[in-house]
Amino acid sequence: MSVKVGQKVDNFKGTAVIGQDFKEISLADYQGKYVVVFFYPLDFTFVCPTEILKFNELYPEFKKRNVEIISVSTDSKYSHLAWKNTPVTEGGIGDIQYPMMADFTKQIAAQFGVLIEHSGTALRGTFLIDKAGVLQHATINNLDLGRNIHETLRMVDALQFTEEHGEVCPAEWAAGDEAMKANRDSLKAYLTTHTQK
C-alpha cells in the first residue's frame, strides 16, 4: 500500500548520482529538513529534462527554505550519470545539483504509488515531506503532463507558513498574502475582503 498524505513516510534508500559520484543515500539522511521527492518516467526523454532543469534552476530557492530535493526514476545509476554528462543542447541535463536516485528495483516508486507496472516506469509524482517525515502534499501527473515547479515551491511556503503561524492558507495563497484562522469569523472576514461583489 502506498503512503498517503498525513502519514509518516517509511525510510527508503538507494544509490544516487551526486556530482559525478555514486552515493548511497536514504530519506533518514535528511531528518530535520523538508524533502521534495519527485519521480519522473525515464532518462533521455522529452518532458523530463524540462522539469529536472527547472527544479535545478529553483534549487537555491528550495535550499533557502531548508528543503532538499531528491529526484527518482527507475533508470540505473549509469543511465543517470550518462544523462548528466550529455550537454543540455543535445537533450542532456548537465550538472544537476541535487541527487538523482536510481530505483532500478522499482520499490520506491511502488512505495509512493507511482509505479506503472506494465512498463516499469514511474508517473510524474511530486511529494512534500515535512521535518518530522510526514507526507504533507502529493500530486501525480500522467506522462504527457509536465508539472509546475513554482507550485511545489508555493506549497513549501504554505506549509511553513501554517507551521509558524497556525493559520490556514486559502486558494491561490502565496507568500506575503493574507491567510486566515480556521474558524467561521475569520472565514467571513476573509471572504468579505477577497470576493468580488
Instruction: Give the whole-angstrom CA distance, residue 95 versus residue 84.
Output: 6
4 φ, ψ (degrees, to nearest 5): -115, 155
**Looking at residue 196, what is its pLDDT?**
64
**Looking at residue 56, what is its pLDDT?**
97
pLDDT over threshold 60, residue 197: no
**Looking at residue 177, what is its pLDDT?**
86
CB neighbours (10 Å) of residue 179?
A: 17
pLDDT tens digits for range 133-181 = 999 999 999 999 999 999 999 999 999 999 999 888 888 888 988 888 9
One-letter-per-residue 3-state SS of the chain: CCCCCCCECCCCEEEEEECCEEEEEEHHHHCCCEEEEEECCCCCCCHHHHHHHHHHHHHHHHHHCCEEEEEEECCCHHHHHHHHCCCHHHCCCCCCCCCEEECCCCHHHHHCCCEECCCCEECEEEEEECCCCEEEEEEEECCCCCCCHHHHHHHHHHHHHHHHHCCECCCCCCCCCCCECCCHHHHHHHHHHHCCC
Q: Are 16 and 22 in contact (CB under 8 A)?
A: yes
All structural domains of the chain: 13-147 (3.40.30.10)
Hey, which residues are catalytic here?
A: 48
pLDDT tens digits for range 89-108 = 999 999 999 999 999 999 99
Give me 50's grid cell.
524540462
Q: How confident is the model at residue 1 (pLDDT cuts 50, 70, 90)?
A: low
User: What average pLDDT score do residues 13-40 get?
Assistant: 96
**Looking at residue 70, what is its pLDDT?**
98
- CA 136 vs CA 9, 37, 163, 195: distances in Å: 10, 12, 12, 28
Instruction: Give the whole-angstrom CA distance, residue 165 versus residue 118.
Output: 45
